Amino acid sequence: MRLRTLPLLLAALALGGLSACTATPDAAVPSSANSSANSSPTQSSPAPDTETTVPAPSPSAPPAPSAGPGAGNAELAIMVKPSPAEPAVNYTLVCRDGVPTAESKHPRPEAACTALKNNAALLSPAPKTTAQVCTQQYGGPQTATVTGIVDDTPVDVTLARTDGCEIAAWNAAQDVLGISGGGT
């Protein structure tokens, strides 16, 4: 008799274990345990290993470099578009310790690397806020996109000349953009 009940007992335990794995969060905790664990009987908490539908927080971006001197290391792809009708001009800038490397294909690599070494935050402008006042002047149709890394910080910035604030950022970055005198 014992030999016949042992397989039945094992089968019942196995089925009980499977149902615990596929149970819903409310079924995993008996209602009597739920109401004694919480102060309100209508409130329930999922089991500790229950999946939730709440997304994980996004990883935070590395902090932007502060204004001031940096290490002067950069690997950048620079695209300057003089106007919507003209083709874009592309440059590559690679700097080590504020000095351009042979890989750089830039009209003024020395000036660009020096500018990045003197101000590591040059290509990390603060985002515009509604409290920021910008003059409503038009500086031209030029746009520029710079992507890459400056002092181990990712850079992905688009510059334009559509108002006073954007013109100021453009002028500050003109050495990196490979232009002089504000325009192209």
The pLDDT score that the predictor gives to residue 28 is 47
Please tell me whether residues 90 and 30 are part of one structural domain.
Answer: no
Please tell me whether residues 22 and 90 are part of one structural domain.
Answer: no
Asked whether residue 12 is domain-assigned, the answer is: yes
Residue 117 has pLDDT above 50, yes or no: yes
Please tell me whether residues 79 and 31 are part of one structural domain.
Answer: no
* Three-class secondary structure of residue 154 per DSSP: strand
> Residue 133 belongs to a domain with what CATH number?
3.30.350
Asked whether residue 64 is domain-assigned, the answer is: no
Supply the range of the domain harboring residue 17: 2-37
Please tell me whether residues 93 and 164 are part of one structural domain.
Answer: yes
Counting other chains too, the contacts that 94-101 makes at CB distance below 8 Å and 24 or more residues apart are 96/72, 97/71, 97/72, 97/73, 98/71, 98/72, 99/72
Asked whether residue 53 is domain-assigned, the answer is: no
As for how many domains the chain has, the answer is: 2
Give the C-alpha separation, 107 to 16, whole Å. Answer: 74
Paired tokens of 136: 């409503």
Verdict on whether the full-model pTM lies above 0.85: no
Give the C-alpha separation, 145 to 155, whole Å. Answer: 10
Please tell me whether residues 105 and 151 are part of one structural domain.
Answer: yes
List the one residue out of 151, 130, 148, 14 whose CA is nearest residue 72: 151
Whole-angstrom CA distances from 174 to 137, 179, 181, 184 are 18, 5, 8, 9
pLDDT tens, residue by residue, 4-63: 555 555 555 555 555 555 545 444 444 444 444 444 445 555 566 666 666 655 555 444
Q: Which residues of 78-102 are buried (b: 16+ CB within 10 A; e: fewer)?
A: bebbbeeeeeebebebbbeebebee
Which band of pLDDT confidence, cut at 50, 70 and 90, is reported for residue 97? very high
Please tell me whether residues 28 and 81 are part of one structural domain.
Answer: no
pLDDT tens, residue by residue, 126-176: 676 777 788 888 899 999 999 999 999 999 999 999 998 899 999 999 999
